[in-house]
Amino acid sequence: MTKQERSARTRDALIRSAAGEFDRNGYTLAKLSAISAGAGVSPGALHFHFENKAAVAAAVECAASTALRRTARIVYRQGSNALQNLADTSHALARLLREDVVVRAGFRLSCSHDGGTELNLRQEWQTCVQQRLAEAADEGLLHAGFARQDLARTIVAATIGLEALCRDNGEWLSPRTVTGLWRTLLPLLTGPESLAALEPAGSTALEDRAHVRVG
């Protein structure tokens, strides 16, 4: 392993350790000593990579943003219609928040007043929702009686609310809860004919049902 590879591995370990510390304790109470210990390196090694706690937090946020954007691109390339893609993306976001401490901590840091950077992951999600709704309108999927901006605000408020509630009870971001959310929202967004082709549990569930029918 080269020196550059070791340095990159140490930096990644520090980011993951920091994410765990921020996720447990928040930015204010997080300790640099705990972050370096969690990564298995000395405090000096931490300061070689990061000037201070704010720099560590910024790196966690950046890593979280990268993971979220990458996941959104992967879901988008699957080729579902815009409403199904929006539901699928929310399921993917919920899964990342459940399973990836870097994403969870980055989201928390981005949405807090302490230690925040210019990144705003809630705003990025809002932009994603607005784009998918615009595409759904172009595809003729949306009811005509609602203002698209009102729909976007409702979806963002509901999904971000699940993230906030999950900090006390992980069930709020479970597949069942996210599915229930879309089971409620989708009939408000589109008509019966389009609704019949949509799966609130996500495209994977739709594919699984198709395989069962074929079998």
Q: Name the percent of the chain lying above pLDDT 70.
A: 93
- Sorted by where each starts, the structural domains of the chain and their CATH numbers stand as 61-203 (1.10.357.10)
Residue type, 211: H
- Whether the per-residue pLDDT at 25 is higher than 80: the answer is yes
- Whether the per-residue pLDDT at 113 is higher than 60: the answer is no
Segment 196-209 shows an average pLDDT of 76
**How many C-beta neighbours within 10 Å does residue 51 have?**
10
**How many C-beta neighbours within 10 Å does residue 8 have?**
13
Predicted structure pTM score? 0.87
Give pLDDT, residue 116: 54
Number of residues that this document lists for the chain: 215
Cβ density class 21-38: b for 16+ within 10 Å, e for less: bbbeeebeebebebbbeb
pLDDT in tens, 145-162: 788 999 999 999 999 899
In angstroms, the Cα distances linking 13 to 33, 54, 134 are 14, 17, 39
Answer for the pair 54, 18: CB distance below 8 angstroms, yes or no. no
Tokens of 133: 């709704």
